[in-house]
Structure 1
């Protein structure tokens, strides 16, 4: 028998323990071990009851998703759960850590469940573009009722042991899994309790069967933000089958839904994104054994939008932070905005009522750069000009203690140039947070040419500690995300000169799955920012300039590329903008042409992919998947499309290269010619993914 699953017998109780570190995933060996041990315990006349538990830090935390796409190895999880369910002897699942996905489905196959107070239970498959495929959509509604089942399955978030107890998902909270599980099993035997086989218990489905709106209202609430996703709706369909059909027919509906999703592009993309995020945390070029520097004190310079958001990120993670400004008035304004943000979140129910006070207490506002003297990590978030950045970093040499990591939040500027004004360039790097920094998960960690490996690792470690997704990138204008965004912005602007309207371009981009189109995004940011920058550099953009000259700066003035009603941020197409575009084109001697949505899509996405290829050639990003993580977590790229480089592989590099060449000739724009790497891979019939395999 497999020793990855062990069994101990104590006074008529067989305790079966899964020991498959780190998370006791349901590999074929684990499934086989559980089935063998359960069958042996059922056959053993000395065994009266069975406890299923796990060693290490967690209960079964899910399926082994590395097996997806590979030939199935027996026994299936269905066989294991059926054996648990069919046991004539009571089986108690004793849960600690997390019981997720297939782990919770396994526990649902047991007759009883107990858990320690800190345990979490959930079915997160929807986050991988899947639905629970081993009875979760059929047993969970029978355990907790359809409303909570919809929330758990369509939302994918776990619940606490206390909530699980209150809804009947577990039978008891225990102090220790083995002792508590065995004690509960003895109680079941002493009280001669009937075995609760969820497949046969429809009692919690009765209300939804009598009033279908209980189910449909719950689904409607959970799918409000599911635009473009397939899995949440497939999950809802499977849960509906639990209400409408006998158990075995519901299981068949669930299985059909799972098999359809698992081979689909969306689930492939979401599983890819899952692994890409974890891969991004592996920093290339750092010697083995390198340790991050200890960070006990953090300082943020600048209490504006970015600095305030960064400070809030530390407070949200329970980490004290010193927020530094040049003047008391500016400091108090920044602290006031943070206070209002926290209070608004609490008012909406997003935070407990006492959270604003607790989190603000972790932020110490002070005036004067000398207050960085005790900080182990200093993050600069001042105005985005090289002169100001250099002034701050030059001054930091006088105040920062030796070994402190000096990070700039710059979104475009050259980190090496910033580091050059210090006597400690080895301590300097970029930590590019995305706005709003207290919400957005991405942090581009920018490695300078002289950045020390331990300083780099420190920034990565701290970013993880404040719940950010760190991606290490190299030095170039705009790094990874903004450099690719500039390629898209350039094409968006050119499309207006050729005949497209802002609302047409934005509609194509949002239909693709992005949260906002380029022109609505421009209105949100403020068109005057780009206008002033162009004036400083002596650059013209006739349509955007004409809008600004007419006082149309975006949402802040109620008019930009769109019109905005008072108190609303909803962009409304404005006939005045079309007239302005027509007049501008007439002055330039240009004629509008009909532009298809397909052309718009290709010119919005393919130039970004092309720029991504250049970024890989220049080794600004270590892996294609790192680029995808940047776009998923920093720019709202739909996770069900896996990121720009994954999407490129899905479409095919050859047709993308051909279309880029076509548009380069059509628009007389040499920047659209395929990058050498893209052309080479296309000619060889390869993918970006092949680069990660050493190709």
Structure 2
């Protein structure tokens, strides 16, 4: 098939130009130059042309637009792949008798970097990044990445780079040997010059030996990689391939790598991770928003310098915004400023950022007790105590202060955004920006759309989320929105199991073994038991007394056991130990509540615990989808994975449920209904799961 043809008749994706005897193959596959079939075919044609045309002395592969090759086209991974495959293209590059130069700007990742590894020389712009992030998609490098990278970096470094999926900036990539040169000049011109310097010489990475290094260094890298796997089969398999192929014939090693890649790409974990990948992109889409133009936001005012407000301030500073942090007292401001300064000091000490970067970010931070300063801000965000008596007066103040066109945001995690918006007297300008603690670290951002939120305000909120590098999910107004509502149901049913005989430790351990980052009781201790306690107190007046209510968490709070911050909650905490330990005092409170409930006690298997806990998530998720709180099932899964530690390689609770026997899911919900009793709302789970294309 010629360059002028493609299976679907789309535009040419690789354009040719010859300059001074150098064939320039420019990849033009916007927006990110993914290595789709058309790109592979175009580059294969370029190799064929260079091989047969005596006037061509060298080839430069370069990307048009903002990037080189961002990676393979992930949309192809779940389907039969069409030739030429990446390994076939790479074979053509290496077989080409003329030297081939990869000119990298933007991102050269995954299959894109593997193509660069097949070239004879790699030159990059100073702002470029390269890497092999495949394991985070449940696969391994499948076109020689596990074999060529160690020949450039050494085995221990290759293990670290492949298992961590780390993106490496161009200056570091030169130091590690991943690329040959960084240029500050015009990349195209510099690449042509480099091609001429090669003077017809091939310098194939495959012909290089793997540098020798101490066995201890390799073992250390392997151990660190294994610990970081967190249930990802791809990491363990990548390590196995690297171990087994270190002394193998190169082509035999390539075949073994490809076989593992093909098995993984069609597996459950890779399917789940691709689902998450596309869910994140789909979450930004909402009918009617495509024509809304975002408002300009550069100056951000944050009201509330507590732990949450300080974390939000860091998130905005990291994204390049100018931030004014406001609180009622100098003491509160000083504490908030100290938290922010300490964060940057730790980031510098751990070399995550430079000292200069920390100074620059702090230079964009102002603190004051004068709320009038907010009148000059583009975004006014309240992060005060989660109580109507506190938030409503604040929203009235912000509504009066904000200049025309400014956006007012609430960080509420449970409260009715519409009620808060009405208090501002300008509900069209109000949106919810629900950050998760710690706000500068957690990826999830729930963007809450009020009944009167203007389309351009919602579009602006999504743009802010993107600039903050958050995973933004749109939620409707409702108690707890998406994440906290599902999590409350999950925690409630876990507490039912505790009251019926399971220990908090067993429940936490069972769910961690399934893959959750932490169990519900360890999470409660980390976030503070008083947050949910206040929520339960607020709802107590409307709670039907016939509904089952577990008072254990209330009794813990009444005993001053609010979690890590008080040294005790469901567990006790020793500063030297750091991790929670089972506590006889907590066990005594649990036993007392069990006796008062009069419920029969029984044992639970780990399998039953996981089934019940996940079914609680699924049932509540389907309820809120039916109510329009979430737009689509993938939004729910995205929120639970990014905000609550659900393992991404399991896709999310709805993805998980869609892959279980329908009868098992329904039986698990039967168990929920029996345990909850009066007032339990059963969702039409089977109806939803039957319609899911996940």
Compute the TM-score of the two structures, normalised by the length of structure 1: 0.93
Instruction: Please give the per-residue CA displacement for 1:385-405, whole angstroms capped at 9, x wherever unaligned.
Output: 112111011122321111211
Q: 1:344 matched to which residue of 2? A: 346
Q: Using a 3 Å threshold, how does the CA distance of structure 1 residues 277 and 531 change in structure 2: closer, same or farther? A: closer
Structure-1 separation of matches of 2:65 and 2:159: 30
Q: 1:226 matched to which residue of 2? A: 229
Higher mean alpha-carbon deviation, 424-433 vs 222-231, is at 222-231
Identify which of 207, 217, 223 aligns with 2:212: 207
Q: 1:601 matched to which residue of 2? A: 610
Structure-2 separation of matches of 1:16 and 1:659: 57
**1:471 Cα deviation after fit:** 1.1
Secondary structure class of the residue paired with 1:223:
helix
Structure-1 separation of matches of 2:114 and 2:531: 53
**1:515 Cα deviation after fit:** 1.5
Q: 1:464 matched to which residue of 2? A: 466
Q: 1:376 matched to which residue of 2? A: 378
Structure-2 separation of matches of 1:367 and 1:668: 48
**1:640 Cα deviation after fit:** 0.6
- The gaps in structure 2 that reach 5 residues or longer are 4-11, 544-548
1:245 aligns with 2:245: no
Secondary structure class of the residue paired with 1:56:
coil
Q: Using a 3 Å threshold, how does the CA distance of structure 1 residues 81 and 590 change in structure 2: closer, same or farther? A: same
Secondary structure class of the residue paired with 2:79:
coil
- The gaps in structure 1 that reach 5 residues or longer are 691-695
Structure-2 separation of matches of 1:138 and 1:482: 45
Identify which of 398, 401, 405 aligns with 2:400: 398
Q: 1:496 matched to which residue of 2? A: 498
**1:138 Cα deviation after fit:** 0.7
**1:549 Cα deviation after fit:** 4.6
Higher mean alpha-carbon deviation, 238-247 vs 362-371, is at 238-247
**1:507 Cα deviation after fit:** 0.6
Higher mean alpha-carbon deviation, 427-436 vs 643-652, is at 643-652
1:181 aligns with 2:195: no
**1:530 Cα deviation after fit:** 4.5
1:689 aligns with 2:693: yes
The answer (yes or no) to whether the contact 1:555–1:569 under 8 Å persists in 2 is no
Secondary structure class of the residue paired with 2:298:
coil
The answer (yes or no) to whether the contact 2:163–2:229 under 8 Å persists in 1 is no
Secondary structure class of the residue paired with 1:165:
helix
Q: 2:83 matched to which residue of 1? A: 74
Secondary structure class of the residue paired with 1:455:
helix
Instruction: Please give the per-residue CA displacement for 1:43-96, whole angstroms capped at 9, x wherever unaligned.
Output: 112222222222222112111111112222111111110011122222222222
Q: Map 1:433-512 onto structure 2 (within 5 A).
A: 433-512=435-514
Q: 2:416 matched to which residue of 1? A: 414
Structure-2 separation of matches of 1:10 and 1:132: 33
Q: Map 1:259-278 onto structure 2 (within 5 A).
A: 259-278=262-281
Structure-1 separation of matches of 2:562 and 2:103: 60
Q: Using a 3 Å threshold, how does the CA distance of structure 1 residues 437 and 513 change in structure 2: closer, same or farther? A: same
Higher mean alpha-carbon deviation, 571-580 vs 422-431, is at 571-580
Structure-1 separation of matches of 2:400 and 2:534: 34
Structure-1 separation of matches of 2:338 and 2:21: 64
Q: Using a 3 Å threshold, how does the CA distance of structure 1 residues 527 and 177 change in structure 2: closer, same or farther? A: closer
Secondary structure class of the residue paired with 2:446:
strand
Q: Map 1:531-542 onto structure 2 (within 5 A).
A: 531=533, 534=536, 537=540, 541-542=550-551
Instruction: Please give the per-residue CA displacement for 1:165-194, whole angstroms capped at 9, x wherever unaligned.
Output: 2233323333223221221121111xx64x
Compute the TM-score of the two structures, normalised by the length of structure 2: 0.93
**1:614 Cα deviation after fit:** 0.9
Structure-2 separation of matches of 1:550 and 1:119: 55
Q: 2:7 matched to which residue of 1? A: none
The answer (yes or no) to whether the contact 1:653–1:687 under 8 Å persists in 2 is no
Structure-1 separation of matches of 2:27 and 2:274: 25
Higher mean alpha-carbon deviation, 547-556 vs 435-444, is at 547-556
Q: Using a 3 Å threshold, how does the CA distance of structure 1 residues 447 and 577 change in structure 2: closer, same or farther? A: same
Structure-1 separation of matches of 2:426 and 2:532: 34
Q: 2:431 matched to which residue of 1? A: 429
Q: Map 1:559-574 onto structure 2 (within 5 A).
A: 559-574=568-583
Q: Map 1:670-689 onto structure 2 (within 5 A).
A: 674-676=682-684, 678-681=685-688, 686-689=690-693
Structure-2 separation of matches of 1:92 and 1:572: 57
Identify which of 298, 301, 308 aligns with 1:299: 301
Equivalent pairs, count: 677
Identify which of 29, 34, 40 aligns with 2:38: 29
Q: 1:631 matched to which residue of 2? A: 640
Q: 2:138 matched to which residue of 1? A: 129
1:513 aligns with 2:518: no
Structure-2 separation of matches of 1:613 and 1:587: 33
Q: 2:285 matched to which residue of 1? A: 282
The answer (yes or no) to whether the contact 1:124–1:153 under 8 Å persists in 2 is yes
Identify which of 613, 624, 639 aligns with 2:622: 613
Instruction: Please give the per-residue CA displacement for 1:585-638, whole angstroms capped at 9, x wherever unaligned.
Output: 234433321111121111211111111111111111111111111112211211
Q: 2:527 matched to which residue of 1? A: 525
Q: 2:331 matched to which residue of 1? A: 329
Secondary structure class of the residue paired with 1:365:
strand
Structure-2 separation of matches of 1:30 and 1:531: 56
Secondary structure class of the residue paired with 1:492:
helix
1:109 aligns with 2:118: yes
Q: 2:361 matched to which residue of 1? A: 359
Q: 1:693 matched to which residue of 2? A: none
Q: Using a 3 Å threshold, how does the CA distance of structure 1 residues 673 and 429 change in structure 2: closer, same or farther? A: closer
**1:144 Cα deviation after fit:** 2.0
**1:535 Cα deviation after fit:** 5.7
Structure-1 separation of matches of 2:90 and 2:320: 41
